[in-house]
Each structure stands twice: as structure tokens, then as C-alpha cells.
Structure 1
Amino acid sequence: MTQTPRIDVVGGAYEEWCLRPAWHEVFGSAGRAASAIAAMAGPSKVTLHCYADARTAQVLEARCALEGTRLVAVAVPATCSFRYTHALQRPEVEVPQSTYASVVVRAETVLRFGMLEGDAVVHGKRVVYDPQGRLTPEPFGANGSSADELFIVLNEREALAITGLAEGATALKLAEATRALHKATGVIVKRGPLGALVLDGDDWTEVPAFETETVWKIGSGDVFAAHFALNWAAHGHSATDSAYRASLATAVYCDGRGFPEQSTLDVFPAMPIRASARWMAGRQPRIYLASPIFTLGQLWLVEQVRENLRMFGLEVFSPFHDVGYGSADDVVQLDLEGIHNSDLVYAVADGMDSGTIYEVGYARAQGKPVVVYCENESSEDLKMLEGSSCVLCKDYVSSIYRALWTAMAL
């Protein structure tokens, strides 16, 4: 059996907090990627290069000892930290006031991440670069880095920022501009639920994203980059095949927060996310947002749901925003017309508010799909909703993605 070459991973190793679902770990991009590769490649295959303060170093040393990986940490007074209320919210980021001297790595196979508190100068034969937070149009080699073969992995938002192309540029145009900027062998532009576009030489292909029961989004991009680097840079698979494997591994990670082994990937029920012809042609499905709007907490959640759904290009009809408060004569008919003119309903089952439950029933009577966010409700309270084929989600981020996937298929 061919042995997997060693991979050197360089980037951030940060402390992470999330309020819902509860999460407090030390990972960061490079820390998470090193663990993801170690789970697949086995012990003694990964070297993690990062900055580490006393707090993060203690955790990283213990994890690397457990995983059988090698840690090369530059001791610094403080590293970054990320705090999320939920994984779709922009995190609160603490960055050290000082910028540290660059980490230098020389190895055959390298996965390099962009960092906030410093930089990495890498020299390798096969290098994968995920710029992440570094949204300035600085080419890969501008800091002295070099690679015989180089693949850039980034998402559409990052590609727009780096290339300066106008909003609406196609994924292929973004990939071509990114490749030219970095003088790269190839580029992967991640497109969220639409999967990823892979540009390799003169050829481009697309690989799908996959549906999961739940969606744990924090670090999903790190896992994608890790598995792409493992397959393309270390194993020598084609870029398209490597991206497909990376997408599948990312789905497994999103579904359970764990780092997949090969046996896990072999049995994972891969269900590609399907987009209808109407969606691909630019149609924006309309979602009716059914929710109680009587307390500050409920209003805050309505704002979050509306913002997150619109972030994915969906049109949202919100009774609070689009109708407002009023008497039954003032609002009921307008709300029901809003349901009638929408493609699906997203319902917040907070306390099983009677108005929200009525709206759900009205929508189901019209045959409209309904996604219900129901974190705290009992099975007994949800019996009618479940029995009428509503999609029930206990996790907030998962409910948003389920609404998106439902809308994409219409």
C-alpha cells in the first residue's frame, strides 16, 4: 500500500465559542484541518504550524499527542478568538494588537491558511492555499511563498473581494481571475449549497454539496480544504475527484461535528442538493415568516431569520415588517394573503403561539411546504405538525438550511 506523504498545515489555531449549539474548543483553521487530516491519514502524517499563546498551546499539545501529530508552535502573548451566537452570525473576533513575524514552512506538501495575527511564507512542491480572512488582493507569492503546483480554495464572497470583480460575476469568471492573480495551477470556488466549481488547466467541472440532517457550519470550510489537500496534494488524485471527496467529507463533518474516517465516508448516504431549473435561472422563492412577535427575544429571532434567509437570496414576507401590528380586521387578511402568495413557510414554534400554529395549518391546507424551528417544544406539542408533514428542526442553523434546500428544489 502506498504510504500517505506527510502534510504540513500552517494557519490559525484559535479559541472558539458558540452559544447555540453550545461549543467551546481550540481549533481554528489550521488546528481543525490538522485533526481532519489525521483522522483520515493516520498518525505521524501531519505537522501543525501555528502561533500559540499559553492557553491554546496547552490544548494543542494534548490534542497532537492524542492524534499522533507533530506541533510546531511559535509562542506569542495572545492569539485570536471567535465568539458566535449561532453559526450564521458574523462572529465577534478578538485579534492581538501586534502583528507577529511570519511563520516559515518548507515541505513537499503544504496546506496554508490565511491568518489574522500574522502570515505564513511557505515553499512546497504541491501547495493548497485557502486565504480565508485575508481579503486583500495580495497574490500567493507576494510574501515570498513559492509552489511548483498551487491550488487556491475559496468561496464566492472571498473571490469577489480578492479579484475586485462586480457582484454577479460567474463562478467560472471568479475562478479564472483568481488563478491569474495567484499564478495558480487551479482554483476551487465554493458556492455553498450549489457545491463547488473546479478550474484545473483549461478544464472546469462542478461537484455537488450534500444534504445532511443537521448543519454544523463552524469550520466546514477548513474540513473541505483539509480533505482536498489530502487527496490532491498528498494522494495525487485529480482536482475534481479530490473536490468531490472533500465535499462528501464536509457533509459528514456538518452532520455530526466529527472528523470522518474512510469507513464513515463509505457508508454516508450521499444526497446531492438539487436546484430546480427555475432556481438556476434566477428565480427567488418567497418565504412566509410565521412567528410570535410579542417579546424582545421573539423580535430578535425574527430579525435573525429574515436576515439569514435573505442572505441566501430568498425573498421573505414577514408580517412584522410587511404588515405590522393592528386589529384582526387590519392584519389577518393581509397575513393570509402573504401565505397564499408565498412558496413555503418558515415557522418559529416558540411557545406554540396560536397565531403561528394557525398560519402553519393554513399553509399546509394549501399544500405549501413548511419548515418549523422547534428547539424547546415537546413531541406531544409537535404531534400535529409532524403528522401533517412539516419539516421539524431542533437546531436553528439547520432549520435555515432546510428552508433553503426546500426553496431551491421548487
Structure 2
Amino acid sequence: MLTVVGGTYFEVCHDPKWHELYGSGLRGAIALSGHVSDISFKTCVGNDAINLANAICNSFNIKPDFVLIPETIVFEYYHPLTKPLFYPSDFLNFKTRMPDVSAESILVYGQIEAEVKVSGSYVVYDPQNGISYKFTGSTATHLALVLNHREALLLSGLTDQDNLEEVGKALLKNEEAEVVVIKNGPHGALVVDCSGTHIIPVFKTSSVWPIGSGDIFSAAFAWKWALEKLPAAEAALLASRFTAQYCQSRILPLPVAPNIFQQLRRNTHAQKLYLAGPFFTVAERWLINELRCKLIEFGNDVFSPLHDVGRGGPDQVVGKDLAAIENADVVLAVLNGEDPGTIFEIGYAKALKKRVVVLAENTLENDLTMLIGSGCEITNDFTTAVYMASW
């Protein structure tokens, strides 16, 4: 038996198109519905979505306990890596107080619209809203924190700390937790507990859908650690595999066992990444700038001709650009429009035996023959390109 506490939200993404009722709590409950026979789900939902939420829960044999709010919250993304907008926003000033929850095993996701106090034997807490478990007044005999890099720095108070092991140890002490799992995006995760520190790898997929991936990791970890009582490191490794499965397929509930994915070598230093692509129009410059921002957020050392050289004649730009390609670990090339300069940069990089990732959103397959044959990694998805280049 598992009690899941968390949000039910509409999720809207414009590119690629996505409009579904999920949220962290509902997604986590659905993910485990094929493996846990008795799932109780505590959440807030508006009158506009209660019938749909009921139907979804019934179809997955989930026992819902809804707290009604005026309107179901919407999270809106331009693309999956953008910071979402959410509305209505007035709930931030008037948070709903949910009834206290007491159960043996609990998976708790932080909610921006509600507060809740829980008490359990085995509790997995994924803050999401940046609020400390202790601050909520909740208790647990065995507590595991599962949180991302940013949340870990914030809750530990070590915002200037680069050593995630030290951050994890601080959280163990401050939150009186038994386990701390820090998710670190394309670089895997870190588990800190009484047995030491364990590096959890990331697994390579052919495509990446990151919306909800953290929810899946926490759900799978709760299944394996809180219910099956596996060691934390083993549970986190399985959670990473299940998350890869979800990122590639988006299929829920989770399978009995995840597919076999290639384990990626952990980068111990920032990758030097060359960002190739045309920047002759506002739209092209927006795309290059957006890629650069996300690549830097993922910990890459990015050289962008647009930002680091600028526009000019051959004598002003070519030498610097070629030198940067020679110095790069990876080249990410935007092939939209099949710009001759970008094609040359790809060829130059391949001649130097560099790894090349290509974002080709509107290119005919026949035009990619040489790129495919020379071993370029090709995708038509913005988010997947960022992950591929960062791996």
C-alpha cells in the first residue's frame, strides 16, 4: 500500500504540442499503478477537472481523495526546457490547507497551491516547491529526500557549494533524513546515506521528454526503497533506468522492468561545446541564443560564433571559428535551412574526428545522407539536441 500526495495540474507545451492532465502527484500515482495494488491519492483539483481526474484515477485503480479548489492550475511551457508559466497565480497568496495524512508508506510531492502535514514510517519527499520537510511539520521514521540540484542548494543553504556530496551531507543532518538523492540533469544523480556516497549514472535514449521525468524518478525510487526495501543506491539506479524509459516513450504505467539503455560516462569537467548554426534573421538568432542558454545551464562551456565572435568578414571570423572547433569536445549544429557555413563546420569537425550532434527540424532525409553516413547524431527535437550534446 502506498499513499501519494501531490499536485494535479494541466500541462501545456507548445513545441512539441502537449496538453494533458497530469501534475507530479497524478503522474507518480499512475506510474506505479501497475505495480502497487493499493494506491491512495491525495490532491487538490478544480471543478473544471474533477470529472476527468476521477475518470483517470478509476481507469488506473487509484483511490482519489480530492480537495476542491476554485480552478485547476495550469503549467504552460513554450518548449520542455523553458521555465513554465502557471496560472491562475492568486493561489500563491491563499494556499489550501489539506487534511493531515498518516500512513505506513508515503510519496510526497511539494505543491505550490497547498500545504499538508504527513506522518509515516517510510516517506519519500520531493520538495519541488523549495519548502523543507521539517518546515511542513511532517515526521517520518525513515525519510528520503529526492530533489534536484537547485533545490538541494537552496534547502541546504549552501548556494555557493560546488561539491554535491557536501550538500547531501548537510541535508542529511539539517532535515534529519536517512537518504538524500540529488538529481543532476544530464549528469545523473548522487545518493548520500549512512553507507557513503554513490554516483548514479544517466542512460542514453534516442529522444528526451523531460516534463515529469523528475516525478517518475521519485515514484520509482519510492516503489523500490519504501515498498520493496532495496538499498537506496540500488533503488536510485533502477529509478534512473525507469526515468530513461519514460523520457523516451512517455508510456505509463511503468513497465515491469526498464529497457536496456547505454550507460553514459560521467563528465568530470565542463564539456567544450561549439554551437554552429545560421544567425541571419531574428528567428535564427533567437534559436541560437536559446540553445546557448540551455547548454550553459546544463554545465557546458559553450563557444557560440554569434556571441563570441559576432558578424564580420572572412578575415574577422573564420580563423576564430575554426580554432574553436579544433578546441571543442562536441559540436552542436543547427541545420535548419541547410546554411552552407554550418555544413562546412560540420564537415570540418568530422574531419577532426569530433563528435557532432545535428538539430535538423525541417530537412529532407535525403539531404542527411552524408551526415548519417559519417556518424553524426541527428534529431529534429530541440530538447533532445540539448541533452545529446551535453552527454
Distance 2:12 2:5 in 1: 22
SS in structure 2 of the partner of residue 108 of structure 1: strand
Distance 1:332 1:205 in 2: 45
Could you tell me which of 156, 180, 188 is aligned with 1:195? 188
Could you tell me which of 271, 277, 290 is aligned with 1:304? 290
Does residue 1:274 correspond to 2:265, yes or no?
yes
Could you tell me which of 317, 322, 328 is aligned with 1:331? 317
The answer as to whether partners of 1:252 and 1:260 remain within 8 angstroms in 2 is: no
1:348, distance to aligned residue in structure 2 (A): 0.4
Does residue 1:234 correspond to 2:227, yes or no?
yes
One-letter identity of the residue aligned with 1:190? K
SS in structure 2 of the partner of residue 214 of structure 1: coil
Shifted more, 87-96 versus 156-165: the winner is 87-96
TM-score (norm 2): 0.94
Measured against aligned partners, the alpha-carbon deviations of 1:117-169 in whole angstroms (never above 9, x if no partner) come to 11121111111111112x24x3x233332222111111221110111114234
Shifted more, 75-84 versus 23-32: the winner is 75-84
1:264, distance to aligned residue in structure 2 (A): 4.7
Measured against aligned partners, the alpha-carbon deviations of 1:352-390 in whole angstroms (never above 9, x if no partner) come to 111111111121122211110012211011112112211
Does residue 1:178 correspond to 2:171, yes or no?
yes
**Match runs of 1:150-189 below 5 Å:** 150-189=143-182
Equivalent in the alignment of 2:202: 209
The answer as to whether partners of 1:11 and 1:120 remain within 8 angstroms in 2 is: no
Equivalent in the alignment of 2:122: 126
SS in structure 1 of the partner of residue 248 of structure 2: helix
Distance 2:353 2:134 in 1: 55
Distance 1:398 1:358 in 2: 23
SS in structure 1 of the partner of residue 209 of structure 2: coil
SS in structure 2 of the partner of residue 274 of structure 1: coil
Measured against aligned partners, the alpha-carbon deviations of 1:254-302 in whole angstroms (never above 9, x if no partner) come to 111112544452xx12321102xxx42x3x3321111111121111100
The answer as to whether partners of 2:47 and 2:72 remain within 8 angstroms in 1 is: no
Could you tell me which of 241, 248, 252 is aligned with 1:255? 248
Equivalent in the alignment of 2:101: 105
The answer as to whether partners of 1:13 and 1:56 remain within 8 angstroms in 2 is: no
The answer as to whether partners of 1:79 and 1:96 remain within 8 angstroms in 2 is: no
Distance 1:59 1:225 in 2: 24
Distance 2:329 2:229 in 1: 45
Identical aligned residues as a percent: 39
The answer as to whether partners of 2:208 and 2:248 remain within 8 angstroms in 1 is: yes
Equivalent in the alignment of 1:3: none
Distance 2:12 2:26 in 1: 15
One-letter identity of the residue aligned with 2:237? Y
Measured against aligned partners, the alpha-carbon deviations of 1:301-340 in whole angstroms (never above 9, x if no partner) come to 0001111111122111111111212223332333223322
The answer as to whether partners of 2:33 and 2:253 remain within 8 angstroms in 1 is: no
One-letter identity of the residue aligned with 2:179? G
1:195, distance to aligned residue in structure 2 (A): 2.2
Distance 2:275 2:135 in 1: 47
SS in structure 2 of the partner of residue 380 of structure 1: helix
Does residue 1:314 correspond to 2:300, yes or no?
yes
Equivalent in the alignment of 2:32: 37
Equivalent in the alignment of 1:246: 239
TM-score (norm 1): 0.90
One-letter identity of the residue aligned with 1:66? S
The answer as to whether partners of 1:225 and 1:246 remain within 8 angstroms in 2 is: yes
Equivalent in the alignment of 2:13: 18
Q: CA RMSD in A?
A: 1.7
The answer as to whether partners of 1:195 and 1:209 remain within 8 angstroms in 2 is: yes
One-letter identity of the residue aligned with 2:20? E
One-letter identity of the residue aligned with 2:265? R
One-letter identity of the residue aligned with 1:93? F
1:188, distance to aligned residue in structure 2 (A): 1.2
Distance 2:329 2:232 in 1: 38
One-letter identity of the residue aligned with 1:348? V
Distance 2:390 2:205 in 1: 13
Distance 1:144 1:189 in 2: 22
Distance 1:322 1:199 in 2: 39
Cα–Cα, structure 1 residues 354 and 54, in superposed 2: closer, same or farther, change >3 Å? same
Consecutive unaligned residues of structure 1, counting only runs of 5 or more, are 1-5, 406-410
SS in structure 1 of the partner of residue 319 of structure 2: helix
The answer as to whether partners of 2:273 and 2:301 remain within 8 angstroms in 1 is: yes
1:55, distance to aligned residue in structure 2 (A): 2.2
Distance 1:260 1:78 in 2: 27
Cα–Cα, structure 1 residues 123 and 18, in superposed 2: closer, same or farther, change >3 Å? same
Q: How many residue pairs were aligned?
A: 388
SS in structure 1 of the partner of residue 289 of structure 2: helix
1:63, distance to aligned residue in structure 2 (A): 0.7
Equivalent in the alignment of 2:372: 386
1:56, distance to aligned residue in structure 2 (A): 2.6
Distance 1:262 1:307 in 2: 34
Shifted more, 162-171 versus 348-357: the winner is 162-171
Distance 2:327 2:203 in 1: 29
One-letter identity of the residue aligned with 2:77? Y
The answer as to whether partners of 1:105 and 1:122 remain within 8 angstroms in 2 is: yes
Cα–Cα, structure 1 residues 336 and 151, in superposed 2: closer, same or farther, change >3 Å? same
Distance 1:291 1:308 in 2: 15
